[in-house]
A and B are shown apart, each in its own frame.
Chain A
Amino acid sequence: MTARILPDRLTRLTASSAASMLLWLSRTVLALLVAYPLLSAIDATGITGSPEHDALLFRPGSLLLLELARLGLPWFGAIFKISLLLGALSALCELLPLAGALDVLHDSERPLAERAARTLRHFPRFLALGAITWAAQAALLLAASLLDTALKAALQHADERLLTLAPVAWFGLALLAGSWLSGVLDVARAAVVRRNANARDAVLEALATLREQPLALLCGSYVSTIAGLFGYLVAAWLMTRLDLSAQMPTRIALAFAVHQCAIVFGIAWRVRWLRRALELGARDSRLSSGC
């Protein structure tokens, strides 16, 4: 019994690692593309030409950081728009490695060429599902905004703390619901990969899963989100202990390592959830078909 479980676990671990690596690599490459215009703009200000290079930007008090903001402001706005556009395109491109990662998790034995072909085939359906989720998330935020406007008049004589916190609560709930919508979307994506479902069937399957196993879906996707957030917060806290204004290359390397660990940590938890999404959908299909 132990002998059978161990290879299974090893296979799962290898597949998860491969999926995580694929997602990390693709995100890193795309992030470089997005960050490049802004980094070039910083370089063009001349601030990095100092003998201490950009260590000046990290000095306590932020004198040079504000100087950079002041001098760069006229063109930073324009360059930020370019980065934003690249970011939107990159986010769409990320659907390809995501489809690939789900495929790896579903069947780690598939040949590379076949996997690439399947990934390309899935891309339009991933795109359609993404658009549906974005629209639903936008609707949630709009609803939160409308709720806030509607309740503003009712709350005008309330304690000022309530007045401040009410919109935070509405938008927080909308974001949480949006995050769970992403979880539903992942189950739909899993359906696309697992049984080549079209977008409509994939959504129906995801909704069925939500109906049949709400706790499993909501908890599973929530864990992925909150674990990632925890990783980022810990990384941010560690950065507060690291003085980057010192001329020490090891500190830069350490900062890079900490940040990338946080990214990989978040990706690992997402991959764990994607595997669950594949399993949840499969279980639900069995349930629906009377298995």
Chain B
Amino acid sequence: MRRAGRDLLIGALFTALSGFALRALVTARSAPPSPSQQSASMASFSAPSAAAESVASYDIDAKLDAVTHRVSGHETIRFVNRSVAPLRELWFHLYLNAFKNDKTLFLRSPFGAGRSGDKAHEYGYVDVKKLTLVGEGAADGRDLWPNRDLHSPADPEDETDVRLPLPSPLAPGATLAVELTFEDQLPEIVERTGYSGSFHFLGQWFPKLARLEPDGTFAHFSFHALSEFYADFGTYDVSLDVPDAYRVGATGKLIRESHAAGRNQLRFHAENVHDFAWTAWDKFEIKSERIAGVQVSVLYPPHQERNALAELDSVRFALPHFNALYGTYPYDTLTLVHPPSGADNAGGMEYPTLITTGGPWYATFGGGHFIDIVTIHELGHQWFYGLVASNEHASPFLDEGLNSYAEAEAMEAHYGAGAVFDGFGLSVSSTALNRAASAARGADEPVAQGAADFASFRNLGALVYSRTAIVMATIGRVYGQARLAHAVGTYTRRFRFRHPGPNDFVAVIQEELGAEAATALSSALFARGTVDYLVREIANAPEPSAAGVFDSPSGRQQKKPDPPHAPGQYAGRVVVYRHGTLELPVDIELTFEDGSRQRRHWDGHGFTHNVDYAGPSQIIAVNVDPEQRILLDDDLTNNWHSVNGSAAPRAFERGLYAAQLVLGELGP
């Protein structure tokens, strides 16, 4: 009995000590980056535009029925024809109709619906009840909606992209006011929008004009499962009517709130934005803080305070960081919405001044940085989509791709090598993860193509998100990180409140980093450009000093052959090959028998490069791109060759230990 008691004590002691050891193990972090690394990419820029050219502004009154999950709305669009051509039609995006039935373009996707892969469980749609033109020349109050095309172009099953002929052309510079009444039936959360229990999230919820291009055409498209959005800047003034107990987060600034008859009326106002999203839930908890002059609020589910604090911490780092790199965030507010469990499909999305994060309550435990990644990624979209409003449908790499680069840069500036995971003695960087995804599907399709052109969301993810980030990281590592940071900063400032295309971006890279970098960038993005540097063998031969009879002005000299094994000269050659179409300059490191090293440089032109050597020691190893600057290299394991063969003492040690552990724990 005494021995049992002693065992009990020892057991309790070891249990407590194991708890401490586990805690120490989980929180073991790699060293954070040095301040010099963090500030290396900061640079000064000229001030960007202060305001957008307003094209389409929306005044919306919306009332939520939280029981039937319906929204009744009235909308006035004030539209200016800023193009050079008279307009004879308007194009409306009715995005919510993507969830109307299983035959829509969105839901008939062979790879499941959209990015989440989930189909709609309860369907959703938007019904426009009436559309009239108001103002001069259009005041007869006639409902024009019956004149619309009944479906998207060439797609009778889809009603997300609808043309409305105008009764008379709208001249360049002329303005038009359109009034609509509409009613939304929200789906159960699918692709960001809908409800889950009493939680409601409304993105792409109101009839919205397609973006008017300068030539007078509308950049309209049906809502494809792989696609996102594109719209004109304007002012949004939105009044929301929700049940009294509901807390609301929305784009813009809350300028009025009142309670009456069991309802809560809120009015939000946002200028220089191109979309409006909102959320309402009776269980939201809220944390607010002023960060870099911006009122930041996090709306989160009960029991997720830890996640909310982590999200605020991420914004505390990333907002000033992005301000310095890409121009100051110009809005007064930023709202973060952490959807509850069961509404995960509402997470990880960006809207002007409102982003959604996500993750389970335990996301911050262990060494993963998932919460930080999703927060910083969505925050980055305030620049890459929000302020620099490129066409997400036609060129997703300009928003998701550049934003993935920005996210990886910020995460590594904040967390160093353990940006994705840092615990249990293992660190995984954003660069490593992006490279793995990028290399797996690098040559499948061009990066710079329309979202709907990708074969699957996996391809879009690997190419648009990861490969763009890796292309950018490679350009930075090869041509200079600070120069690249300056180039991207120039791009985001020059095109703030504008709608740049791929050529605008390449032009900035050419201007800032030179033609060679721009060519490499274009090849990698537009033409499935790939590269693989490799080395197959090392040739070494003794080079004896010349023997024989030699005449010179000083007389005749006779030189005897070197004795065998005499220390002498060696001649060596290494041939480095370049596969693929990308020509990127690369360093080659030679290691010699005496332990010395030499660096050679190859400009990357041509298919092979001979590295010749003559000296007192033999080459024993060669390493192409020893710092792994060229992250686009298809195969990093063929970049070296060693005459001493391979050795894996560390892997052997770990492998042996792991097998010992498994045998010890799982034996009968």
Interface of A with B (CB < 8 Å)?
A: 27-28, 30-32, 34-35, 38-39, 42-43, 45-51, 53-55, 57-71, 83, 87, 90-92, 94-95, 98, 126-127, 129-131, 133-134, 159-161, 163-164, 213, 215-216, 219-220, 222-223, 226-230, 232-234, 236-237, 239-241, 244, 249, 252, 255-256, 259-260, 263, 266-267, 276
Contact = CB atoms under 8 A, between A and B. Distances in A.
Nearest to A266: B664
Given A39-B648, A61-B417, A219 B7 contact: yes
A241 B429 CA distance: 19
B439 A91 contact: no
Interface of B: 1, 3-4, 7-8, 10-11, 14-15, 17-18, 21-22, 24-25, 28, 30-31, 301-303, 340-341, 360-362, 416-418, 424-429, 431-433, 435-436, 439-440, 589, 591, 620-623, 628, 635-642, 645-664, 666-668
12 contacts: A49-B637, A53-B649, A60-B418, A62-B426, A71-B635, A159-B303, A160-B361, A219-B7, A230-B18, A236-B25, A240-B28, A260-B657
Contacts of B340: 160
Given A48-B651, A67-B637, A226-B15, A62 B659 contact: no
Given A67-B435, A237-B28, A50 B648 contact: no
A144 to B, nearest CB: 18
A134 B666 CA distance: 10
B21 A230 contact: yes
Contact of A63 (B17, B426, B432): B432
B14 A223 contact: yes
A160 B663 CA distance: 36
Given A45-B637, A63-B429, A69-B436, A91 B646 contact: no
A244 B650 contact: yes
A237 B658 contact: no
Contacts of B620: 51
Given A131-B668, A216-B3, A27 B660 contact: yes
A283 B237 CA distance: 85
Q: Residue among A61, A65, A239, A252 with the most chain B CB within 10 A?
A: A61
A261 to B, nearest CB: 11
Given A45-B637, A95-B668, A236-B425, A63 B659 contact: no
A92 B4 CA distance: 31
B534 to A, nearest CB: 10
Contacts of B428: 61-62, 66
A31 B660 contact: yes
Nearest to A55: B650
Given A63-B432, A160-B361, A28 B427 contact: no
A213 B646 contact: no
A253 B238 CA distance: 67
B650 A54 contact: yes
Contacts of A130: 668
Given A54-B647, A223-B11, A31 B642 contact: no
Nearest to A68: B637
A237 B535 CA distance: 38
Max chain B Cβ within 10 angstroms of own Cβ: one of A92, A126, A219, A222: A219
Which of B439, B635, B636 counts the most A-chain CB atoms under 10 A from its CB? B636
Nearest to A159: B303
Contacts of A159: 302-303
A230 B652 contact: no
A51 B637 contact: no
Of B7, B10, B30, most A-chain CB atoms within 10 Å: B7
Nearest to B426: A62
Contacts of B646: 43, 46, 48-49, 53
A64 B427 CA distance: 12
Contacts of B659: 30-32, 34-35, 83, 87
A27 B341 CA distance: 45
A49 B645 contact: yes
Contacts of B8: 215, 219
B664 A226 contact: no
Nearest to B362: A164
B668 A252 contact: no
Contact of B662 (A34, A42, A63, A227): A34
B642 A51 contact: yes
Contact of A28 (B30, B623, B660, B662): B660
Contact of A219 (B11, B648, B660, B667): B11
Contacts of A30: 659, 663
A71 B637 contact: yes
A240 B25 contact: yes
Contacts of B432: 61-63, 65-66
B668 A92 contact: yes
A240 B22 contact: no
Given A216-B3, A226-B15, A263-B664, 20 more contacts: A34-B662, A35-B655, A42-B648, A49-B646, A50-B640, A51-B589, A51-B620, A54-B649, A57-B650, A61-B417, A66-B428, A69-B436, A159-B303, A223-B14, A227-B14, A229-B18, A234-B21, A240-B25, A240-B28, A263-B657
B647 A67 contact: no
Contacts of A267: 664
Contacts of B431: 61, 63
B436 A39 contact: no
B190 to A, nearest CB: 21
Contact of B668 (A27, A134, A226): A134
A222 B11 contact: yes
B656 A28 contact: yes
A68 to B, nearest CB: 7
Nearest to A69: B436
Contacts of A226: 11, 14-15, 18
Contact of A61 (B427, B623, B641): B427
Nearest to A219: B7
Contacts of A256: 653
Contacts of B654: 255
A35 to B, nearest CB: 4
Given A35-B655, A87-B662, A54 B341 contact: no
Given A51-B623, A70-B439, A233-B25, A94 B663 contact: yes
Nearest to B427: A60
Given A42-B651, A60-B416, A61-B427, A164 B25 contact: no
Nearest to B639: A50
A67 B668 contact: no
B666 A87 contact: yes
A47 B637 contact: yes
A227 to B, nearest CB: 5
Nearest to B424: A236
Contacts of A98: 667
Contacts of B648: 39, 42-43, 48, 53-54
Nearest to A227: B14
A134 B667 CA distance: 9
Given A39-B652, A61-B417, A244-B650, A67 B636 contact: yes
A95 B668 CA distance: 8
B433 A161 contact: no
A100 B340 CA distance: 57
A233 B661 CA distance: 12
- The residue in A43, A49, A159, A255 that gathers the most chain B C-beta atoms within 10 A of its C-beta is A49
A46 B440 CA distance: 18
A7 to B, nearest CB: 22
B361 A161 contact: yes
A161 B303 contact: yes
